Amino acid sequence: MQTTQNLTRFAWLSIGAATLTIGLKLGAYFLTNSVGLLSDALESLVNLATAIVALFALRIAARPADEEFSFGYSKAEYFSSGFEGGMILLAAGSIVATAIPRLIQPQPLEQVGLGLVVSVIASLINLGVARILSQAGKHYGSITLTADSRHLMTDVITTGGVLIGVTLVALTGWQRLDPIIALLVAANILFTGFSLLRHASLGLMDAALPEADIQVIQSVLSPYNQQGIQFHALRTRAAASRDFISMHVLVPGDWTVRQSHQLAEQIETELRQKSPNAAIFTHVEPQEDPTASQDTSLDQE
């Protein structure tokens, strides 16, 4: 597991980038009077708010397990991801509220060329930071950094669409295209917001690991099945960067405690090689005991 300082430096990077791009995009809006560019600036305000929350979430998630939270604090990252999704939805609502009056009563754009240059600079900053956060999120298994990178990439795509739209407005003179672009931006970021909220809710509800991860676990257990070792009550869940895997291992009843323990340790070692951040729990049972097949459900009667 990485230290707090190692992960929070990425949150500080995101905060710095958001602060800088807010200034640039607001400047572009004031230069052009484009509601499309204003919608882009509002999304950058969301970037700043979520980056600050991500900083606190990463600090909390990095705390070691204690008596009160014996499974650790890693789930704190889901609150950050959920907050980010909620803020994105709020930003989308603000964009819609700003765009509709302009759709009804269009207004001309001003100093389009300079405004576009400023927005391009802001977009390039977000693109660079998004790539850094994406790589860090994958490397450290952090859903907070991954969510932040996805949001920034959405911002980059949004800015690109806005720039194309504002250019077309300047070329064609069709002023209603500007608020239409803003509404399309709102629709785009709504999709990202709902996606982040869904991911956060699944984590907080202890959803099982993805099917691809389950297949990896089964690939480790399969050779043991061929040797007569049986498994049941396999349960999995994810807590941000840490996975949890538990199962019952059924061995011949005449095996010694030492022999059974060595097998369980071997299985856990092989699983950790496939999933280094997994916490693995095994429970050994004798195959001949009829009660061994009665404790496979979570709630025992």
Domains by residue range for the chain, with CATH: 4-204 (1.20.1510.10), 211-293 (3.30.70.1350)
* 100, burial (CB in 10 Å: exposed 0-12, middle 13-18, buried 19+): middle
Q: Are strands 242-251 and 230-239 parallel, antiparallel or unpaired?
A: antiparallel
Among candidate residues 119, 159, 133, 135, the one with its CA nearest the CA of residue 58: 133
Report, as an integer, the average pLDDT of 230-250: 88
Position 157 scores a pLDDT of 76
The answer on pLDDT for 218 being more than 90 is: yes
Strands (E), the chain: 230-239, 242-251, 278-286
The answer on pLDDT for 125 being more than 80 is: yes
Contacts with 216 (C-beta within 8 Å, 6 or more apart), sequence order: 274, 275
Position 35 scores a pLDDT of 76
What is the tens place of the pLDDT at every residue in 167-217? Answer: 887 788 787 887 787 788 778 778 777 877 887 787 777 788 889 999 999
Q: Which of the 8 DSSP states describes residue 291?
A: G
The answer on pLDDT for 111 being more than 90 is: no
Mean pLDDT, the chain, integer: 82
Position 300 scores a pLDDT of 54
Q: Left if phi > 0, otherwise alpha if psi is -120 to 50, otherwise beta: which for 141?
A: left
pTM of the model: 0.63
Phi and psi angles of residue 253, each rounded to the nearest 5 degrees, phi first: -65, -20
Highest mean pLDDT among 37-41, 240-244, 275-279, 282-286 belongs to 282-286
Tokens standing for 112? Answer: 């389009």
Residue type, 204: L
Contacts with 64 (C-beta within 8 Å, 6 or more apart), sequence order: 72
The answer on pLDDT for 301 being more than 50 is: no
The answer on pLDDT for 298 being more than 70 is: no
What is the tens place of the pLDDT at every residue in 35-75? Answer: 777 777 877 777 787 788 878 877 887 788 888 888 878 77
Tokens standing for 77? Answer: 């990252």
Contacts with 211 (C-beta within 8 Å, 6 or more apart), sequence order: none
- Pick the residue with more confidence: 243 or 164? 243
